[in-house]
Amino acid sequence: MIQDLGESVGSSLFETVGRMFGRAQEQRPLPADLYESDDAFLAVFDAPGAHPADVQVKYEDDAIVVRVDRFRDFYDGFEMQFPGRGLTLDGRVAVPTDAEVDPDEASATLTDAGTLRVQLPKTSPESATADES
């Protein structure tokens, strides 16, 4: 009887921890690099398994912010036991606070290999001066 109780508690604990860990795995950080040239910043994110419709890109608080909502394929005759690959990938890359950029002219490209490239053009000092006149 005590052995049955121990197995029951152990099984319940294992299932609870498994579910909690599985939920934590649903969201993952999106690894990224930031590059700079004379006329733009380039943020490169690893977004494997993403499709263009899954990707949201915005510029806020001096950062390029990316969210990827992926979907898992279903396999006939199989039931998910452990969701180890994140469905929601969130990434954020801070741009230097003194950088003058034009978010309205930014562009994003997703490769077949799952690399997301976000190019954020810099504004030239001449155009900033012309805008102020």
Q: What is the pLDDT of residue 120?
A: 98
Structural domain count, the chain:
1
With beta carbons less than 8 A apart as the criterion, state whether 108 and 118 touch.
yes
Strand partners, 60: 63
Run of H or E including 40: strand 40-46
Q: Please state whether the predicted TM-score (pTM) of the whole model is above 0.75.
A: no
Q: Residue 69's domain spans which residues?
A: 27-74+82-125
Does residue 19 lie within any of the structural domains? no
Pairwise CA distance, residues 48 & 30, whole Å: 10
- Identify the segments of the chain with pLDDT beneath 50: 21-25
CATH number of the domain residue 65 falls in: 2.60.40.790
Does residue 65 lie within any of the structural domains? yes
For residue 79, the SS3 value is: coil
**Tokens 């930031």 sit on residue:** 34
Does residue 70 lie within any of the structural domains? yes
Does residue 59 lie within any of the structural domains? yes
Helices and strands in the chain, H and E counts: 2, 8
Does residue 39 lie within any of the structural domains? yes
Tokens of 58: 């915005």
Question: Three-state SS string across 95-132, please?
Answer: CCCCCCECHHHCEEEECCCCEEEEEEEECCHHHHHHHH
Does residue 106 lie within any of the structural domains? yes
Does residue 130 lie within any of the structural domains? no
Does residue 10 lie within any of the structural domains? no
